[in-house]
Structure 1
Amino acid sequence: MGNCFSDMEGGKQAVGGAQQRPTIASDNNNNNGGHNDAVDFFYKSHGLHPLFTQMELSLSASKLLDRDITSKSDPMVVVYAKKIDGKLEELGRTEVVLNSLNPAWIEKVTVAFQFEIVQPLVFHVYDVDTKYHNVPVKTLKLKDQEFLGEATCVLSEDPFLRISRIVESGGSVPICKTEVVNNNLNPIWKPLCLSVQQFGSKDNPLIIECFDFNSSGNHVLIGKLQKSVADLEKLHKDRSGANLTFPSSHQGHEKVLKGQLFVDQFCEKQQYSFLDYISSGFELNFMVAVDFTASNGNPRSPDSLHYIDPSGRMNSYQRAMMEVGEVIQFYDSDRRFPAWGFGGRTGDGTISHCFNMNGSAGAFEVEGVEGIMSAYANALHNVALAGPTLFGQVINTAAEIAGQSISYNRNKYFVLLIITDGVLTDLQETKDALVRASDLPLSILIVGVGGADFSQMEVLDADNGRRLESSTGRVATRDIVQFVPMREVHSGQITVVQALLEELPGQFLTYMRSRDIKPHPLHVAPTSA
Structure 2
Amino acid sequence: MGSCCSDMSGGMDAVGGMDVLNLDKDTETAVPSDFLSGTRGVPADVQVQLWISASKLRDKDFLSKSDPLAVAFIRKDGVLEEVGRTEVVSNTLNPSWVTDIKVSYSFQDIQQLLFRVYDIDTKYAGVNPQELPLEEQDFLGEMTCLLAEVVAAPGQSFSRLLQDKVDGGTDKTGVKSMGTLTIKAEEMQHSKSIVELVLRCSDLNNKDFFSKSDPFLRLSRLREDGSSVPVYKSEVKKNNLHPTWKLVRTTLQQLNNGNMDRPLVVECFNYNGNGRHDLIGSTQVSLNELQASAGGTVSFELKRPSDNQAGGKLHVEGCRISSGHSFLDYLRGGCQLSFMVAVDFTASNGNPHQQDSLHYLDPSGKPNSYEIAIESVGEVLYHYDYDKLFAAWGFGGKPMNSPVSHCFNLNGHSAEVDGVDGILRAYSQALKSVALAGPTLFAPVVNMASSIASEYISQEKQKYFVLLIITDGVITDLHQTINAIVNAASLPLSILIVGVGGADFTEMEVLDADKRKLQSSDGRLAERDIVQFVPLRDMGNKTNLRRTMLAELPTQLLEFMRSRSIVPNLNLR
Matched residue, 1:344: 397
Query: Against the structure 1 CA distance between its residues 224 and 498, is the aligned structure 2 distance closer, same or farther, given a 3 Å change threshold?
Result: closer
The offset of 1:406, in angstroms, is 1.3
Q: Does structure 1 retain, via aligned residues, the 8 Å contact 2:295–2:316?
A: no
Deviation per CA, 1:472-493: give whole Å up to 9, x if none: 443332221222222234x438
Match of 1:474 among 518, 524, 538: 524
Q: Which amino acid aligns with 1:368?
A: G
Distance 1:318 1:171 in 2: 37
The offset of 1:348, in angstroms, is 4.6
* 2:367 match: secondary structure: coil
Q: Which amino acid aligns with 1:210?
A: C
Match of 1:163 among 201, 219, 223: 219
Distance 1:178 1:513 in 2: 22
Deviation per CA, 1:126-183: give whole Å up to 9, x if none: xxxxxxxxxxxxxxxxxxxxxxxxxxxx522221112234566766554322122333
Query: Against the structure 1 CA distance between its residues 469 and 310, is the aligned structure 2 distance closer, same or farther, given a 3 Å change threshold?
Result: same
Q: Which amino acid aligns with 2:299?
A: A
The offset of 1:334, in angstroms, is 0.9
Matched residue, 2:545: 496
Unpaired runs of 5+ residues, structure 2, are 1-202
Matched residue, 1:255: 310
Matched residue, 2:278: 220
Q: Does structure 1 retain, via aligned residues, the 8 Å contact 2:498–2:534?
A: yes
Distance 1:169 1:373 in 2: 43
Q: Which amino acid aligns with 2:453?
A: A
Match of 1:195 among 251, 256, 267: 251
* 1:405 match: secondary structure: coil
Distance 2:568 2:359 in 1: 41
Matched residue, 2:570: 521
Matched residue, 1:447: 498
Superposed CA RMSD in Å reads: 3.1
Unpaired runs of 5+ residues, structure 1, are 1-113, 122-153, 525-529
Q: Does structure 2 retain, via aligned residues, the 8 Å contact 1:244–1:261?
A: no
Q: Does structure 1 retain, via aligned residues, the 8 Å contact 2:217–2:268?
A: yes
Does residue 509 of structure 2 align to residue 458 of structure 1? yes
TM-score, normalised to structure 1's length? 0.62
Q: Which amino acid aligns with 1:220?
A: D
Q: Does structure 2 retain, via aligned residues, the 8 Å contact 1:248–1:255?
A: no
Does residue 338 of structure 2 align to residue 285 of structure 1? yes
Query: Using CA pairs below 8 Å that are at least 6 residues apart, which structure has the higher relative contact order?
Result: 2
Distance 1:401 1:248 in 2: 54
Deviation per CA, 1:228-251: give whole Å up to 9, x if none: 33443344444x57364444988x
Matched residue, 1:208: 266
The structure in which a higher percent of residues are strand is 2
Distance 2:460 2:343 in 1: 27
Matched residue, 1:309: 362
Distance 1:158 1:266 in 2: 24
Does residue 415 of structure 2 align to residue 364 of structure 1? yes
Q: Which amino acid aligns with 1:454?
A: F
Distance 2:544 2:262 in 1: 36
Match of 2:322 among 266, 269, 274: 269
The offset of 1:523, in angstroms, is 7.9
Q: Does structure 2 retain, via aligned residues, the 8 Å contact 1:241–1:260?
A: no
The offset of 1:260, in angstroms, is 5.6
Q: Does structure 2 retain, via aligned residues, the 8 Å contact 1:286–1:415?
A: yes
Deviation per CA, 1:6-31: give whole Å up to 9, x if none: xxxxxxxxxxxxxxxxxxxxxxxxxx
Query: Against the structure 1 CA distance between its residues 492 and 408, is the aligned structure 2 distance closer, same or farther, given a 3 Å change threshold?
Result: closer
The offset of 1:503, in angstroms, is 2.2
Query: Against the structure 1 CA distance between its residues 186 and 374, is the aligned structure 2 distance closer, same or farther, given a 3 Å change threshold?
Result: same
Query: Against the structure 1 CA distance between its residues 236 and 410, is the aligned structure 2 distance closer, same or farther, given a 3 Å change threshold?
Result: farther
Matched residue, 1:58: none
Deviation per CA, 1:24-60: give whole Å up to 9, x if none: xxxxxxxxxxxxxxxxxxxxxxxxxxxxxxxxxxxxx
Does residue 471 of structure 2 align to residue 402 of structure 1? no
| Structure with the greater alpha carbon radius of gyration | 1
Deviation per CA, 1:206-246: give whole Å up to 9, x if none: 343221112333322334455433443344444x5736444
Query: Against the structure 1 CA distance between its residues 475 and 244, is the aligned structure 2 distance closer, same or farther, given a 3 Å change threshold?
Result: farther
* 2:476 match: secondary structure: coil
Match of 1:508 among 557, 562, 566: 557
Matched residue, 1:232: 290
Match of 1:422 among 452, 473, 478: 473
